[in-house]
Amino acid sequence: MAKKKTEETEIKEIETPSSAITASLSNVVAVYSHTGWVMIDFGFFSPSYCEPHDLEDRQIARICLPWNAAKYLVEFLDDAIAEHDKSRKLKRKIKSKK
């Protein structure tokens, strides 16, 4: 769940054709910071013994965010992780009561 913003900002939904959206699994490879931006590189980095070998050290995407958007991303991820952990704890308690 997203935290409420203290500032009033108009949030607009950007419509994207569903054909342009593709899901991809990857690792966060690197995070770089600059005075005005935070850059996050996503990609595949696997040891050479892993199959298939064509996925070694391949960058998939670089996301550039202004600092305020990066802060919101951290908040959203933190909330999602907390919610996930909370649901796992509830499942453990339910299983242990049986």
The verdict on pTM exceeding 0.85 is: no
Domain extent listing, the chain:
24-97
Strongest mean pLDDT among 5-9, 36-40, 41-45: 36-40
Contact yes or no for 48/27 (Cβ under 8 A): no
Report for 8-22, 40-54, 59-73: range of highest mean pLDDT: 59-73
Whether residue 95 is predicted with pLDDT greater than 80 in this model: the reply is: no
